[in-house]
Amino acid sequence: MLDRQLFRTDPDLIRRGCARKGIEAPVDDVIRLDGERRELLATLERQQAEMNRISKTIGQLMAQGKREEAEAAKAHTKDLKEAIAAGEQKLREIDAALRDAELLIPNLPHDSVPDGLDETCNVVLREWGEKPAFAFEPKAHWDLGAALGLLDLPRGAKVAGSGFPCYVGLGARLQRALFQSMIEFQTRERGYTEVYPPYLVNRASMVGTGNFPKFEEDVYRADEDLWLIPTAEVPVTNLYRDEILTAEDLTLNLAAFSGCFRREAGAAGKDTRGLLRVHQFDKVELVKFCKPEDSYDELEKLTADAEAVLKALGLHYRVVAVCAGDMGFKGAKQYDLEVWAPGVGRYLEVSSCSNFEAFQARRANIRFRREQGAKPEFVHILNGSGLACPRLFAAVLETYQREDGSVDVPDFLRPWMGVERIGPGE
RNA sequence: GGAGGGAUGGCAGAGCGGUCGAAUGCGGCGGUCUUGAAAACCGCAGACCCGCAAGGGUCCAGGGGUUCGAAUCCCCUUCCCUCCUCCA
């Protein structure tokens, strides 16, 4: 959500932001409804003040035993009471409509975000490492995984459906080694506090992070008001919904491992081979709550924390500044980390690091006080994957494969794997 | 799933249909005193909305209702606690 004040003072700024993102949003509806609301509110409050005065008078007359005068005063309240009831009804309607419209307004892209409407306009900021050279034709992870008995996609599809991968043997251990090592790294080396959140959340939480109402189709529904999380971002961010933090709490750095569930509605057939796009996956998510003036520095730190894992794994990757139109609904600025997967011959997105500024904080009503007695202000919220496991799993297999079909285990994972190499039949 | 009991300011905890935005205690902040601190004493402090302001309005889990008037009465929902049931 944006500051309502901004719709009054600089609506063109909002229109420009929507245009840069290529999103049609009901900006004019918000402006109109906000105006109607304030006008109605002024009238209504005047009537309520009058009513309060009369009621007080009646109370006093009663106390003095002037019953008849009290009754006479009562008679005068009838019209006023009806007017107030009608006004309250109307206000409820306007509030609901205003809220509905507001929730569909995207966050505005920061000035530093590149222009453009799709990924072709994203800007590569930096690269780390190099594409590994092979003396043979590198295989894709689905072939490696099947040959080494690490990945059983057909049986996963049998028990759940396509897009529900099943990891087996050393494959399961590798998957576990990845998230285990990453959560340990972020909490022990990088100062994040570990959180293990619920996997199902209510609608209010989904609205708080900006997943609802616009992207309801993308998540699985488990019950009347219970939804499977598409990312730990949702429960972790909403941990502090409707709370006021103190300045000393900030910056609050949280790291959470969780399963993630996405319907990927409309994405059928697109980049879906192997582990490229799945309905269920594991991920370590990093979330920061900070003071507004710190959020852009924190975005750089967050990105560096996620990058550190790729460096530790020795995987070639690049950092991309996502353009306004490819960034989506919630972000003000976003960096994607893309790891090189030599088998599929492409860079795979394994992390999106975003600064949401106050967009989520306003929706979820998360504030802080600079000092005792100070007026609460909205925090800035950031998050980023650190990292998403399946694509990382794919990149590890493809990067460290050898000509004989075995895969070396990178040093970073050896303490958890207990082996230095994954070979056929192991 | 069944039966009860609860939800009030940072915390604890009063609250009788009007004098309750709410006693009191603790905690917090500012003083007095003190070389400094503690103790004692005095004082100040909730959130939100509209408004340049003056001021006004709303908020006692959330939502409806009764009433001229609701923290107080009625209904619904959510959450917490106790007991039973079930269960990794």
**pLDDT score for A425:** 64
Separation in Å: B18 C1' and A323 CA: 61
Q: Which residues in 372-411 of chain A line strand B, with CB less than 7 A from it?
A: 372-373, 375-376
Separation in Å: B7 C1' and A298 CA: 39
- CB-strand contact A45/B, under 7 Å: yes
Residue type, position A45, single letter: E
A361, A328, A333: which is closest to A252 by C-alpha? A361
Cα–Cα distance list, A242 to A42, A226, A364, A366 (Å): 27, 19, 6, 5
**pLDDT score for A347:** 96
- pLDDT for A57 beyond 90: no
- pLDDT for A130 beyond 70: yes
Measured distance CA(A151)–CA(A143) in Å, rounded: 9
Q: Give me the interface pTM, i.e. the ipTM.
A: 0.84
- pLDDT for A235 beyond 90: yes
Q: Which residues in 258-297 of chain A line strand B, with CB less than 7 A from it?
A: none
Separation in Å: B32 C1' and A235 CA: 50
A212-216 CB contacts, 8 Å cutoff, 24+ apart: A212/A103, A213/A100, A213/A103, A213/A104, A214/A103, A214/A104, A214/A329, A215/A329
The active-site residue, picked from A20, A173, A190, A262, is: A262
Query: How many CA atoms lie within 13 Å of A302's alpha carbon, on the beta-carbon side?
Result: 34
Tell me, rounded to whole angstroms, the distance of Cα A246 from its chain centroid.
23
- The answer for residues whose C-beta is within 8 angstroms of residue A284's C-beta and 6 or more apart is A179, A182, A183, A186, A255, A256, A257, A385, A386, A387
Phi, psi (rounded to 5 degrees) for A37: -60, -45
Confidence category of residue A79, pLDDT binned at 50, 70, 90: confident
- pLDDT for A421 beyond 80: yes
Mean pLDDT of the region A404-419: 96
Q: Residue A349 catalytic?
A: yes
- CB-strand contact A47/B, under 7 Å: no
Q: DSSP letters of A182-207? A: HHHIIIIIS-PEEE---SEE-HHHHH
Phi, psi (rounded to 5 degrees) for A343: -70, -45
Nucleotide nearest to A51 (CA to C1'): B68
A244-246: strand order across its sheet: A244-246, A367-369, A377-378
**pLDDT score for A324:** 96
- Domains along chain A? 4-102 (1.10.287.40), 119-422 (3.30.930.10)
**pLDDT score for A252:** 93
Q: What is the pLDDT of residues A162-209, one digit of tens each?
A: 999 999 999 999 999 999 999 999 999 999 999 999 999 999 899 999
- CB-strand contact A203/B, under 7 Å: no
By residue count, chain A amounts to 426
A106, A114, A13, A102: which is closest to A334 by C-alpha? A114
Cα–Cα distance list, A422 to A44, A146, A189 (Å): 73, 13, 28
Mean pLDDT of the region A46-69: 83
Measured distance CA(A273)–CA(A336) in Å, rounded: 21
**pLDDT score for A369:** 84
Burial letters for A25-34: b for 16+ Cβ neighbours within 10 Å, e otherwise?
A: bbbebbbbbb
- CB-strand contact A77/B, under 7 Å: yes
Q: Residue A277 catalytic?
A: yes
Q: Retrieve residue A157's tokens.
A: 């599809």
**pLDDT score for A182:** 97
Q: What is the largest CA-CA distance in chain A?
A: 104
Bond preceding residue A165 cis, omega within 30 of 0: no
- CB-strand contact A92/B, under 7 Å: yes
Confidence category of residue A73, pLDDT binned at 50, 70, 90: confident
Nucleotide nearest to A58 (CA to C1'): B68
Nucleotide nearest to A42 (CA to C1'): B50
Answer with the residue of higher pLDDT: A84 or A296: A296
A233, A245, A244, A250: which is closest to A293 by C-alpha? A250
Mean pLDDT of the region A404-425: 93
Mean pLDDT of the region A126-130: 96
Q: Residue A71 catalytic?
A: no
Confidence category of residue A375, pLDDT binned at 50, 70, 90: confident
Measured distance CA(A15)–CA(A25) in Å, rounded: 8
**pLDDT score for A426:** 58
Q: Residue A24 catalytic?
A: no
- pLDDT for A242 beyond 80: yes
Bond preceding residue A200 cis, omega within 30 of 0: no
Q: Residue A352 catalytic?
A: yes
The active-site residue, picked from A349, A351, A357, A363, is: A349
Are A356 and A382 spatial neighbours (Cβ–Cβ below 8 Å)?
A: yes
Confidence category of residue A269, pLDDT binned at 50, 70, 90: low
- CB-strand contact A54/B, under 7 Å: yes
Q: Which residue is nearest to nucleotide B18 (CA to C1')?
A: A59
Q: Helix/strand/coil (H, E, C) string of A356-387?
A: CCCHHHHHHCCEEECCCCCCCEECEEEEEEEE
Q: What is the mean pLDDT of chain A?
A: 92
A308, A384, A399, A314: which is closest to A349 by C-alpha? A384
- pLDDT for A68 beyond 90: no
Are A239 and A197 spatial neighbours (Cβ–Cβ below 8 Å)?
A: yes
**pLDDT score for A401:** 97
Measured distance CA(A230)–CA(A221) in Å, rounded: 11
Least confident of A7-16, A181-190, A367-376: A367-376
Mean pLDDT of the region A315-340: 96
Mean pLDDT of the region A91-114: 92
Phi, psi (rounded to 5 degrees) for A383: -155, 165
Separation in Å: B11 C1' and A8 CA: 40
Separation in Å: B86 C1' and A187 CA: 38
